[in-house]
């Protein structure tokens, strides 16, 4: 069903196109100027006529809707009929707003609905204006096509004869006629669209006034107290927004400072713990090193003491042997034997223990 509704305008436009072209053919007939103007100028002329028929059908539909709503409103004002459906719905919506939020809000709601209605009317004429504006573009396209064809026919043979001139003039006629037809069709369509759009906007304004009258909202708009209150509310809203922004900035700054202080405290606490751990580790290592060094020194001292004790014992033993040998020999014999054997081999840097041993050997 929706597809048929979309095709309704193109089909009606096609029927209107057939009526227009068929009427021209019946009235003028072949060989006439108007017949040739429409049917002997290529495909651009019928295309322009069909686009103009589409625009005309759209304008006619808008005009019929306008007449229907106007008659319904007129009949309802005289209590001879019902209001249009959209106006009945708008009345119910605005009445609900008044009961819920008051008269000022209802008046603002009605004004917003009137503005939206005007915007819808303007948007509905956007497609109509586009199609009407496409007619001059089609005319220019036909002109360029006719000129191109005429130049090709005239100069493709290398020389211009009577037949070439005739074809060239025919192509120029096609080129000019497409633009002329586009201008002839576009001018009245634009005028009708502009006039009908003004009528519908005026109708929307009258509907808005009727809506306000039905709900008794005209005094609300004329009341200066309401306007003053609206200005005061707007100023109050601006002030509240400024105060909220200042409070937000202050809260943000306070939060930033607190976050920075907490972060510094946390970092300081973390580094203090790390420093204490490092200090304890250094002290532990130093204590271990000192203990190991003390143990090493103690072991070296004990080893040196044992070595010295062995040396003293050996020296004491040899001294006892020397004393026993001296008792058995006279000094002269000892000296003679020592000189006979000579000093001990070496570099003379021997210790006392080796000298005593040599001396004991001599005494023997």
What's the residue count for the chain?
364
Residue 287, domain member (yes or no): no
Cα dihedral value 66, 72, 73, 78, nearest 10: 150
CB-CB contact of 138 with 182 (8 Å)? yes
CB-CB contact of 93 with 109 (8 Å)? yes
Same domain, 197 and 329: no
Same domain, 201 and 323: no
**What's the domain count of the chain?**
2
Query: Residue holding tokens 């202080």?
Result: 261
Rounded average pLDDT per 10-residue block, the chain, 364 residues: 68 84 74 67 81 90 85 67 72 81 78 84 87 87 79 65 68 77 88 89 81 69 53 76 82 79 78 79 82 84 84 80 66 58 47 51 51
Report the C-alpha gap between 74 and 81 in whole angstroms. Answer: 9
Q: What is the pLDDT of residue 164?
A: 65
Q: What is the pLDDT of residue 224?
A: 47
Nearest to 125 by CA among 182, 185, 190: 190
Residue 193, domain member (yes or no): yes
Nearest to 354 by CA among 282, 334, 345: 345
Residue 267, domain member (yes or no): no
Same domain, 21 and 120: yes
CB-CB contact of 12 with 57 (8 Å)? yes
Q: What is the pLDDT of residue 41?
A: 66
Residue 277, domain member (yes or no): no
Same domain, 185 and 85: yes
Among residues 202, 222, 242, the one where a domain terminates is 222
CA atoms within 13 A on the CB side of 145: 15
Same domain, 183 and 48: yes
Among residues 203, 222, 241, the one where a domain terminates is 222
Same domain, 216 and 93: yes
Q: What is the pLDDT of residue 1?
A: 42
Same domain, 197 and 327: no
Q: What is the pLDDT of residue 344?
A: 46
Same domain, 38 and 132: yes
**Per the structure block, which two tokens stand in for 229?**
């209150």
Range of the domain at 103: 2-222
CB-CB contact of 125 with 151 (8 Å)? no
Helix (H) or strand (E) holding 146: helix 103-155
Same domain, 203 and 328: no
Same domain, 8 and 119: yes
Among residues 222, 252, 280, the one where a domain terminates is 222
Same domain, 53 and 146: yes
Q: What is the pLDDT of residue 241?
A: 83
Same domain, 217 and 311: no
Residue 45, domain member (yes or no): yes
Terminal-to-terminal C-alpha distance of the chain = 151
Q: What is the pLDDT of residue 207?
A: 81
Q: What is the pLDDT of residue 29?
A: 67
């Amino acid at each position: 069903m929706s597809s048929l509704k979309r095709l309704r305008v193109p089909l009606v436009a096609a029927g209107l196109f057939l009526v227009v072209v068929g009427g021209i053919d019946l009235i003028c007939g072949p060989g006439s100027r108007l017949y040739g103007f429409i049917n002997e100028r290529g495909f651009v002329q019928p295309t322009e006529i069909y686009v103009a028929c589409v625009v005309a059908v759209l304008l006619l539909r808008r005009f019929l809707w306008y007449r229907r709503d106007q008659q319904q409103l007129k009949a309802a004002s005289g209590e001879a009929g019902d209001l249009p459906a959209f106006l009945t719905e708008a009345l119910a919506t605005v009445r609900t707003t008044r009961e819920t939020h008051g008269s000022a809000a209802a008046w603002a709601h009605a004004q917003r609905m009137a503005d939206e209605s005007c915007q819808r009317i303007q948007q509905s004429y956007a497609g109509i204006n586009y199609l009407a504006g496409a007619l001059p573009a089609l005319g220019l396209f036909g002109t360029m096509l006719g000129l191109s064809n005429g130049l090709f026919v005239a100069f493709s043979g290398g020389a211009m004869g009577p037949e070439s001139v005739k074809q060239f003039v025919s192509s120029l006629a096609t080129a000019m006629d497409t633009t002329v037809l586009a201008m002839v069709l576009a001018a009245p369509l634009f005028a009708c669209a502009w006039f009908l759009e003004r009528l519908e906007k005026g109708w929307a304004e009258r509907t808005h006034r009727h809506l306000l009258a039905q709900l008794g909202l005209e005094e609300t708009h004329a009341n200066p107290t309401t306007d003053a209150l609206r200005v005061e509310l707007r100023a109050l809203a601006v002030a509240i927004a400024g105060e909220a922004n200042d409070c937000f900035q202050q809260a943000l700054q306070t939060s930033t400072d607190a976050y920075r202080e907490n972060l510094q405290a946390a970092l300081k606490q973390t580094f203090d713990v790390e420093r204490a751990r490092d200090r304890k580790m250094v002290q532990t290592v130093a204590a271990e090193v000192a203990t190991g060094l003390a143990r090493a020194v103690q072991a070296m001292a004990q080893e040196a003491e044992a070595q010295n004790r062995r040396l003293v014992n050996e020296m004491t033993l040899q001294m006892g042997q020397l004393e026993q040998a001296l008792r058995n020999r006279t000094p002269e014999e000892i000296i003679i034997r020592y000189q006979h054997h000579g000093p001990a081999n070496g570099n003379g840097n021997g210790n006392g223990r080796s000298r005593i041993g040599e001396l004991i050997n001599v005494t023997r």
